[in-house]
Structure 1
Amino acid sequence: MPNDFNELFDTHAQWVDSNEAQPNNLQPPKPPVSRHEMRQRRRRKRRRKMMITAIALVVVLVVGGGAFFGAKAAFRHLEHDFQNESTDYTGSGTEDVWFTVDTGEGVGSIAQKLVKADIVKNADTFASTVSANNSILYPGMYRLKKHLPSVAVVKILSDKTKATGFLEVKAGERSTDVIDHAVQLSGIDKAQFDAVVSSGGQGILPPEAGGKFEGWFEPGIYDVKKKGTTASSILKQLVDKRVAKLDGLHVPAGGERENILAMASIAECEVNRSEYYGKVVRVILNRIDHNMPLGMDTTVAYGANVTANKLTDAMLSDASNPYNTRINKGLPPSPISTPGDDAIKAAMNPVQGDWLYFVTTNLQTGETKFVATEDEFSKIRQEYKTQNPNAN
């Protein structure tokens, strides 16, 4: 026991030699630079008092023949709590600071950057907080403060509505909407994007795209505020990611790749449940085999630059619209949206069936029915009108 007792004091006690020479240039302590620092100093003093009290308690128990080992365990528990508290900031933070989480960046890297920026106090404490809360940290630029508790930082970084400066490309979006969003986030003049698009994406798009960006943006999140970013570099980043994804999915190259993207984009826009993508593609292929026009309102709407629910009779009968698949046979001149992985896979391996028609009979649930004859089509069309009396 004496050895343990001496070890305890060797570890936790500090002795001062009163005869040791003191420096002659002692200065009075500098006043705190802020109220925040004053509060921090008061907290440190309270913690020191707690440590001294704990040591004193151990001494009393040992001298009095008490349960030394129990006291030592209690002390270690107190010390653990003290150390945990000292590895995290408290309060609401100090000055504002911008912080960036990069796409694909791990928790460890984020934690180190937060410590370097003096936002959190300890990288391990931050990582533990992320793990304890099962949080997902989203890429983006965030407005934070220095000296924040880890839990406050995790709460902000796991809320993607707080992120700025990162472009999110979603499946089903049109390229024009993606570019408009990129303009807003990057601050780059839209005329620069228009110039790249007008040039047919030279040096960016593969030959099979035919100079059109539609369908060639990969869904995901992209940093569009990095230093040196241009309209051309943003568009190239989106296209390069798409080409890499198509290669990874083993989508055939050349003209067949463009056709697959076109069919996938129609499926993405026509139905809102992935389980139907393969059936929509089968309808497209069956109609082409039967020398029938596709008759897809979504393609007509794309060519008229409106959404499908804004179509008019005049638009539906406009033969000058090259995307009017009610009149023009075959696939449209290009994809009509950004298809996601599920739609692309369905276009590569569509299910078997003899369907020539389909109708989304319930707009609330997305339920869609597929049939092979005109009589069956009339029935599901009537079902649609009955279930959706206010629809066009």
Structure 2
Amino acid sequence: MNHRLEDFFSDGDDPDRDSTPKHGDDSSEGTMNAQNDEHVDESDAFENSLFIAEPPRPPKSRKDMRRKRSRVKQRRLISVILAISIVIIIAAAAIFVTIKVRSLAPQIENSREYAADYPGPGRVVVDFTVDEGESADSVAAGLVKAGIIKSKAAFTQAISATGEQSAIYPGTFTLKLRMKASDVVTILTDQSKAGGFLEVKAGDKASDIFKKAANMSGLSLKNFTALITDKGAGILPAEADGSFEGWLQPGSYNVKNAGSAKEIVTNLVQKRIEHLDELGVPTGSKREDILKIASIAEAEVNQEQYYGKVARVIDNRLAQGTPLGMDSTIAYGEGVSASELTTKMLEDSSNAYNSRIHKGLPPTPISIPGDSAIKAALSPDAGNWIYFVTVNLDTGETKFTNDADQFQEYVKEYKAWEAKNG
């Protein structure tokens, strides 16, 4: 294979060489062919070697086999863990979706009930009672249970449609089965349709409250008057001195199913005592005096801004030792309204409530005072007023003074208004 460069060129390629072959030089040609054959054989051997398969590897050692088995086991374990994890995730997702769907079920049900309503107007007449302080949701549930409305959702929708100021009044209402929800709301928000509930208001008198209680409860009025005759024994506190006046708490009371007159009245008095305690009204005789002053303020003026001034006039007169001169107390003792007072009544000394003649506070409160009047009696406005006159009964305008001549001018102003407005 160690050929010289010249050997690769033909005879004609080299001008210095004789191109005529020499006789007897056959050995040279044979040598060349032999060399060429040898070159071809080696090349073919190289090319053929590219297609010969790699000889088999020797068997692995036991250590390698253990490693291989260990890796297989690890891969299997990882696959199992992944499969279990996927199952757990899917199960957790399913549980979450189930819980979410269940939590939304009431909303879905409400949305379905949104239009669930009877066409009305209803058929069988029934009584339905709304308790004091009962929520609209509770009322709706009761109406559905009674068969009056078809769904709570329809009732809630009807309530919302009436506006934020709508209120369901306590009482016993006359309704019908299978009514349209909006018709039911119209009735329940009309206080004039409420029955069975006793309404006690500031300015009411005990005797009037007992009459209404008898009418609402169906109990005999005699049962209530018997309590008055008995001076509230076992019901009233000692400082009330046997009089219910001023000792009944304003509010709404369900008396339709009350067992007795005593049960009704005891509840009103107990509520009053509890409320006076909450307002911080002193106990004993001082509490009774506060109720007396507050009841006069409640009766004399009809605007909250004047309660404190009236209470101050009363305190100033008591301090001076002069009669209160309040027509409201005289009218109470005579059993008439202030506008019905006559000259004879004003001069009636037998009337213990005649504050033009008798000095000091009247024997009892003259009505049920509300919170504003009670607070005014507890803390009167500052001033030296001795007189006051409501000069306009329509507007309630009231003027105060400590001058007698000015007081007479206010009286003339009132008389002029009275003459004009008859």
Could you say which TM-score interval applies, normalised by the shorter chain? Answer: 0.7 to 0.9
Question: Are positions 1:118 and 2:142 aligned together?
Answer: no
Shift of 1:150: 1.2
2: CA distance, partners of 1:362 / 1:192: 42
State whether residues 114 and 154 of structure 2, in contact with CA within 8 Å, keep that contact through their aligned partners in structure 1: no
TM-score scaled to structure 2, two decimals?
0.72
**Is the CA contact (8 Å cut-off) linking 1:385 and 1:391 kept in structure 2?**
no
2:304 counterpart (253, 266, 274): 274
1:100 pairs with 2:129: yes
Q: Distance in 1 between matches of 2:377 and 2:322?
A: 19
1:304 aligns with 2:334: yes
Question: Cα 1:144–1:210, aligned 2, differ >3 Å: closer, same or farther?
Answer: same
Q: 2:383 corresponds to which residue?
A: 353
1:331 to 334, 340, 361: 361
Q: Percent identity?
A: 50
- Shift in Å, 1:313: 1.1
Alignment partner, residue 294 of structure 2? 264
Q: Could you tell me which amino acid in structure 2 is paired with residue 291 of structure 1?
A: G
2:371 aligned to 308, 322, 341, which one?
341
- Are 1:371 and 2:401 matched, yes or no? yes
Q: 1:213 to 1:390 in 2, by over 3 A?
A: farther
Compute the RMSD of aligned alpha carbons: 1.8
- How many equivalent pairs are there? 313
1:204 partner letter: I
Counterpart in 1 of 2:232?
Answer: 201
Structure 1 residue 84: deviation in Å?
Answer: 4.5
CA distance in 1, matches of 2:221, 2:125: 31
Contact 2:110 2:153 in 1 (8 A): no
Q: Please list every run of at least 4 consecutive aligned residues from structure 1 whose deviation after the TM superposition is greater than 6 angstroms.
A: 79-82
Structure with max Cα Rg: 2
Separation (CA, whole Å) in 2 of partners of 1:118 and 1:80: 19
Unaligned runs of 5+ residues in structure 2 are: 1-107
Distance 1:288 1:87, change over 3 A: same
Partner of 2:5: none
- Say whether residues 1:127 and 2:156 are aligned partners: yes
Amino acid at match of 1:178: I
Aligned partner (choices 321, 330, 338) of residue 291 of structure 1: 321
Deviations 1:177-220 (A, max 9, x none): 11111122212111111111111111111111011000011111
Asked whether the equivalents of residues 102 and 223 of structure 1 are also in contact (C-alpha less than 8 Å), the reply is yes
2:281: which partner in 1? 251
1:125-164 to structure 2, matched below 5 A, reads 125-133=154-162, 134=164, 135-164=166-195
Q: Which 10-residue stretch deviates more, 281-290 or 126-135?
A: 126-135
Amino acid at match of 1:124: A
Q: Is the 8 A contact 2:113 2:151 kept in 1?
A: no
Change (3 A) 1:310 1:140: same
Q: CA deviation at 1:86?
A: 5.2
Is 1:239 aligned with 2:269? yes
- Note closer, same or farther for the CA distance 1:115–1:293 as it changes in structure 2 (3 Å cut): same
